[in-house]
Structure 1
Amino acid sequence: MSLFEVQQSLSLKQQAYEGIKNAIVLHEIPPGSALFERDLSENLKISRTPVREAILLLEMEGWLTSIPRKGTFVSKITTSDVEEVIQIRKALELLVIELLIPKITEGDVKQLHEIYVKQLDYVKDNGQFISIDKDFHIYLAELSGNQRLINLMGTISDQIRWFGVSALNLPNRNEQTLKEHAWIIECLKNKEVEKAKEAVSEHIEHTRLAILSSVGLSE
């Protein structure tokens, strides 16, 4: 989804919010970039009032930073941002594995594999690839049956995409991600809890290192 593709059924404020946020997440508006209400209004074909309201909401959520007498800017990605989100993600996903293993069915594994195959089709399209990546991990959370856990995963999923989309520009990172997903699926198919947790841990660690490298941050 680009800056211009939003559901027309949403309110104008929500259309502006979704359009700007998705552009930020996918680095169509890169970290550190200045935002201008007029340009956003013209691009989104929405009046400046809902755009201004969306900007205020995005600032409250931490996506934007306003500097007096200078303007409003997309927040920059910092090492601490990445480390904190990755720590939370790892804790949540390991719990997901523990909860879903006893109840996962052949149908669930088949559905995971279908998501994997769909992701294969977009290995050269980073935007679609990382969107399907989100689907893969959210579906794992849904299989846990824990609604609060699902909600928590949903809460951090956009930040994970924001950090991760630049990592997909690294050589062979998309292909490596697919291999890691395939390993996770295989472990889940065999209901091997410890191996599945190991697969998830390695996947998250490789993602962490790729993100830090891609955005020019050191460990």
Structure 2
Amino acid sequence: MNLSKVKQLSLKQQAFESIKNAIIDQTIVPGQILFERQLSEMLGISRTPVRESIPLLEMEGWVTSVPRKGTFVCDISEKDVEEVIQIRRAIEVLVVELLIPVISDSEIENIEKLYGTQAELTEDKNKFILTDKDFHIYLAELSGNRRLAQLMGTLSDQLRWFGVRALNTPNRNEQTLKEHALLINAIKNRDVERAKQAVLNHIEHTRDAIVKNLKIIKICQKGGGLENPY
């Protein structure tokens, strides 16, 4: 049996991850044009891996190339939101159904510690969202269904991207913490139906916050407040 040697993450993959994360946290904003030279200087690498990372970003829907104009950062559409929310409802309801019969007291304490960490990060949107991702993935892991946890991991980049937008809505971080607290309380009481309702309410409120932000941006674009490159 011949196996290829394990290699460090390629420069192309490093460029891909760095640019993707900058798009997710809005360091690179929707509609912004990507310039290879600028990105290569910021990342401290040559232009070749940056150029090679663009098709990967486009394949995953983070950027779009417009002939004779350049490569632009994509924005979130309401259709994107609806599709991901539909998947998230199905996954997270199943998560609480599976985890409540098997969760231990020590695991509940770990959930509460994650909640406490997130509660201290309300002034840092990006860290708040990263901890939110950890919170939901940890619940999926506690379900005991490995594939379910993998699905949550696959969705995590999209959820972070959407989550940053949701937090642009006033008081959304405080509301998120209240919704998490209700979910944790239902889990502590081993109340499956209440936990399912809590997670569905949380998802719907998140959806509403994202869509509200998207509508505000559309109004700004129509009024000339934001430039749309498309």
* TM-score bucket of the superposed structures, by smaller chain: over 0.9
Q: How many residues align?
A: 210
Structure 1 match to 2:73:
74
Structure 1 match to 2:93:
94
**Counterpart check, 1:170 vs 2:169:** yes
Shift of residue 187, structure 1, vs aligned partner: 0.5
Structure 1 match to 2:205:
206
Structure 2: gaps spanning 5 or more residues: 1-7, 219-230
Structure 2 match to 1:151:
150
User: Separation in 1 of the partners of 2:155 and 2:69?
Assistant: 29
User: Separation in 2 of the partners of 1:92 and 1:76?
Assistant: 25
User: Separation in 2 of the partners of 1:101 and 1:84?
Assistant: 27
Shift of residue 211, structure 1, vs aligned partner: 0.5
Structure 1: gaps spanning 5 or more residues: 1-8
User: Separation in 1 of the partners of 2:150 and 2:70?
Assistant: 33
- Aligned to 2:215, the other structure's residue is in SS state coil
User: Separation in 2 of the partners of 1:30 and 1:207?
Assistant: 21
Bigger CA drift: 107-116 or 160-169? Answer: 160-169
Shift of residue 148, structure 1, vs aligned partner: 1.2
Shift of residue 167, structure 1, vs aligned partner: 1.6
- Aligned to 1:66, the other structure's residue is in SS state strand
User: Separation in 2 of the partners of 1:192 and 1:41?
Assistant: 52
User: Separation in 2 of the partners of 1:155 and 1:33?
Assistant: 25
Shift of residue 30, structure 1, vs aligned partner: 1.3
CA RMSD for the aligned pairs? 1.2
Kindly provide the CA deviation profile for residues 2-26 of structure 1, in whole angstroms up to 9, marking residues without a partner as x. xxxxxxx633122211110100011
User: Separation in 2 of the partners of 1:23 and 1:147?
Assistant: 29
**Counterpart check, 1:47 vs 2:46:** yes
User: Separation in 2 of the partners of 1:127 and 1:113?
Assistant: 20
Structure 1 match to 2:27:
28
Structure 2 match to 1:137:
136
- Give the counterpart letter for 2:65 in structure 1: S
Structure 1 match to 2:15:
16
User: Separation in 2 of the partners of 1:79 and 1:172?
Assistant: 21
User: Separation in 2 of the partners of 1:151 and 1:58?
Assistant: 21
* TM-score (normalised: structure 2): 0.88
Shift of residue 33, structure 1, vs aligned partner: 1.4
Shift of residue 169, structure 1, vs aligned partner: 2.1
Kindly provide the CA deviation profile for residues 43-92 of structure 1, in whole angstroms up to 9, marking residues without a partner as x. 11111111111111111111111111111111121110001001111110
Kindly provide the CA deviation profile for residues 104-130 of structure 1, in whole angstroms up to 9, marking residues without a partner as x. 110111000000000011111000000
Q: Give identity over the alignment, percent.
A: 64
Structure 1 match to 2:102:
103
Larger radius of gyration: 2
**Counterpart check, 1:121 vs 2:120:** yes
* TM-score (normalised: structure 1): 0.93
